[in-house]
Amino acid sequence: MQDQSNTAPAQAPDIEDQVGELFDALEGLPEDVTNEALHAALLAQSDKIRAIADACERTRIYLRAKGQVDEFAGEIEATQPPEGRLVAAWLWLLGRMAGAPTFFHTIGAVRLCMPLVARFLPAPAAQASSEQEAGL
C-alpha cells in the first residue's frame, strides 16, 4: 500500500528567510558600530553569508549580471584595503537595500550583492586559523 499523505519534502529556506535570519543574528550591533566590530560580526556569520551567496549565485538575475558584479568587485579591490573590503561590500548591500524603491528591487539587491559580500570573506581555512590565533 502506498503512502497517500500530502506531506511535501522539506525544502531549504528561501533566500529572504535566510537573509532575515542573518539580520536577526546581527541585530544586537549598536548603531555606532565600528568597522572592526562589524567585520568580526560578519566573520561570525560567514557560514550563513556563504550559504545565502551560493543560493543567490544560482538565480537568473545574478547569472545575467555576473559580469557587472565582477566589475564592481574590482572597483572595491582597487579602492579599499584588503581588511576593509568585507565591510565595504556589506555597507554597499545595506545601501542598495535601504535605497530600493520597491520590495522587488530589494530582492534584486540581495541577489546581486550578497555574493559580493561572500567574496570578501576569508577562505574558511584562513578564517579558522585567524580565529585560533585570536583565541576565539
pLDDT, tens only, 82-136: 999 999 999 999 999 999 999 999 999 999 999 999 999 998 866 555 555 555 5
Burial of 99 by CB count in 10 Å (0-12 exposed, 13-18 middle, 19+ buried)?
exposed
For 120, other C-beta atoms within 10 Å of its C-beta total: 22
Average pLDDT of the segment spanning 24-39: 93
Assess if residue 128 is contained within a domain.
no
Which domain does 113 fall in, by range? 35-120
Assess if residue 75 is contained within a domain.
yes
Assess if residue 65 is contained within a domain.
yes
pLDDT of residue 8: 44
Assess if residue 30 is contained within a domain.
no
Assess if residue 23 is contained within a domain.
no
All three cell numbers of 83, joined, read: 581588511
pLDDT at 13 over 70: no
Q: What is the distance between the alpha carbons of residues 100 and 103, in angstroms, rounded to a whole number? A: 7
pLDDT single digits (tens) 115-130: 999 999 998 866 555 5
- In this prediction the pTM is 0.81
pLDDT of residue 124: 82
Instruction: For the chain, give the mean pLDDT.
Output: 88
Closest to 91 in 3D by CA, of 133, 67, 120: 120
pLDDT single digits (tens) 52-75: 999 999 999 999 999 999 999 999
What is the percent of the chain with per-residue pLDDT over 70, rounded to a whole number?
82
Residue with cell 545575467: 64
CB contact at 8 A, 111 and 61: yes
Residue with cell 531549504: 12
Assess if residue 83 is contained within a domain.
yes
> What's the structural domain count of the chain?
1
All three cell numbers of 93, joined, read: 548591500
Q: What is the distance between the alpha carbons of residues 21 and 38, in angstroms, rounded to a whole number? A: 17
Assess if residue 29 is contained within a domain.
no
Assess if residue 44 is contained within a domain.
yes
pLDDT of residue 128: 57
Specify the length of the chain in residues. Answer: 136
pLDDT of residue 4: 52
Average pLDDT of the segment spanning 39-52: 97
